[in-house]
């Protein structure tokens, strides 16, 4: 089993660890209610190191991410991120995404591990069908 970047911290905090999609992952610390309140009233941290990372770069990067995600990425400034989703062709949600504006012509997005392969296939189909110059789109997986 693979471990995530914050594995030792989760263990030190006595997280309940379980296998999930080839990784050992934390699912709970002190109970759902307390954890929910803590996140709502304070802060929560989510380790995305086990998730798929994809880069879209080039002069059409913003246009491309706009065409394959549901949120308005044009509002992002360099170094900022937004929560979005990868919709299917009839408006349903295939997967949720985190979109980061790295540079003016470089956007990174993260998608869930358990859907990574299926979502990646859909992502490549959409990117290839919308990209005017395919070299502007580079997919990179963190495995």
Q: What is the pLDDT of residues 4-52, one digit of tens each?
A: 889 999 999 999 999 987 889 999 998 899 999 999 999 988 888 888 7
Q: Which of left, alpha, beta for 84 (phi over 0: left; psi -120 to 50: alpha)?
A: beta
**CATH number for the domain including 131?**
3.30.70.1400
My answer on whether 64 and 93 are in the same domain is yes
Give 89-131 pLDDT, tens digit per residue: 788 888 888 999 999 999 998 887 555 556 666 666 666 666 5
pLDDT of residue 3: 92
Q: Is residue 143 part of a domain?
A: no
My answer on whether 31 and 85 are in the same domain is no
What predicted TM-score, i.e. pTM, was given to this entire model?
Answer: 0.70
Joined tokens for residue 79 = 């170094």
Question: In terms of pLDDT, which residue wins out, 136 or 51?
Answer: 51
My answer on whether 102 and 35 are in the same domain is no
Q: Are 80 and 101 in contact (CB under 8 A)?
A: yes
When pLDDT is cut at 50, 70 and 90, the band that residue 141 belongs to is very low
pLDDT of residue 124: 67
For residue 135, pLDDT beyond 60? no
61: three-class secondary structure by DSSP: helix
Q: Are 21 and 2 in contact (CB under 8 A)?
A: no
Q: Which domain holds residue 59?
A: 52-138
């Amino acid at each position: 089993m693979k471990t995530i970047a914050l594995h030792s911290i989760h263990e030190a905090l006595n997280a309940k660890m379980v296998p999930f999609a080839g990784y050992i992952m934390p699912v709970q610390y002190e109970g759902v209610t307390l954890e929910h309140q803590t996140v709502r009233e304070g802060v929560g941290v989510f380790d995305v190191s086990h998730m798929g990372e994809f880069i879209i770069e080039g002069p059409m990067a913003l246009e491309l991410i706009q065409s394959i995600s549901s949120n308005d990425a044009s509002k992002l400034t360099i170094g900022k991120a937004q929560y979005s989703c990868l919709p299917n062709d009839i408006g349903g949600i295939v997967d949720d995404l985190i979109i980061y504006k790295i540079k003016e012509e470089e956007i990174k997005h993260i998608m869930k591990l358990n859907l990574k392969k299926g979502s990646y296939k859909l992502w490549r189909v959409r990117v290839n069908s919308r990209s005017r110059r395919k070299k502007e789109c580079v997919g990179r997986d963190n495995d």
